């Protein structure tokens, strides 16, 4: 069985994330969409909220499950019998950063990193841009699922 992980902060999960997870699901037996617990970085959503949005957003993929982790991704891979990490590349600058991480992960554990280029439809998309647009009441309906859009609306309404 080929099991891969699509890690991220998913703050919030975007249609770009879902596209990569879905494409990975078509190529592998099982995909774990894993939310990083980063205590040094305070996000808009809690880890459990991000996990809930990720679960809802990937529910139509039979071979995708969600998880959360903290610490080193390579340890998560070892503990979950993951053979490769799937990462998205939106631009050349993404590649420079991701290559260093991939090489370090391989050095630490031998786990491979598979790069998928972003769908051109989502190559500009990032969670931080979605948060900024939503914060000011902009339309994010083409960038996230309806469920995530509603969660953003509620989150920013409650902050006012």
Q: Classify residue 141 by its DSSP letter.
A: T
119 contact partners, CB below 8 Å, separation of at least 6: 16, 19
Q: Is 125 annotated in some ligand binding site?
A: yes
Q: Is 88 annotated in some ligand binding site?
A: no
Annotated active-site residue in 3, 90, 109, 155? 90
Specify whether the CB–CB gap between 121 and 103 falls below 8 A: no
Helix, strand, coil percentages for the chain (3-state, nearest 5): 45, 20, 35
Q: Six-digit token pair at 88?
A: 């998205």
Helix 47-57 vs helix 146-159: angle between axes, to the nearest 10 degrees? Answer: 150
Annotated active-site residue in 17, 50, 131, 151? 17
Q: Six-digit token pair at 155?
A: 């989150």
Q: Is 122 annotated in some ligand binding site?
A: yes
50 catalytic per annotation: no
Q: Is 10 annotated in some ligand binding site?
A: yes
Q: Is 98 annotated in some ligand binding site?
A: yes
Q: Is 141 annotated in some ligand binding site?
A: no
41 catalytic per annotation: yes
Q: Is 87 annotated in some ligand binding site?
A: yes
Annotated active-site residue in 50, 57, 127, 151? 127
Catalytic residues: 17, 41, 90, 127
- Binding residues, as ranges, are 9-10, 17, 41, 73, 87, 98, 122-128
Please state the residue numbers annotated as binding site for substrate. Answer: 9, 41, 73, 87
Binding-site annotation, residues for ATP:
9-10, 17, 98, 122-128
């Amino acid at each position: 069985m080929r099991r891969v992980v699509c890690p991220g902060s998913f703050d919030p999960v975007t249609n770009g994330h879902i596209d990569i997870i879905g494409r990975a699901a078509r190529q592998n037996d099982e995909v774990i969409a894993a939310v990083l617990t980063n205590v040094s970085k305070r996000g808009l959503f809690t880890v459990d909220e991000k996990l809930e949005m990720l679960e809802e957003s990937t529910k139509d993929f039979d071979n995708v499950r969600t998880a959360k982790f903290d610490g080193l991704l390579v340890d998560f891979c070892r503990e979950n019998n993951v053979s490769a990490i799937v990462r998205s590349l939106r631009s050349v600058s993404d590649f420079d950063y991701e290559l260093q991480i991939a090489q370090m992960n391989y050095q630490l554990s031998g786990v491979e990193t598979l790069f998928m280029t972003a769908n051109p439809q989502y190559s500009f998309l990032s969670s931080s841009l979605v948060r900024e647009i939503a914060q000011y009441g902009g339309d994010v309906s083409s960038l996230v699922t309806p469920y995530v859009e509603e969660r953003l609306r509620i989150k920013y309404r409650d902050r006012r």
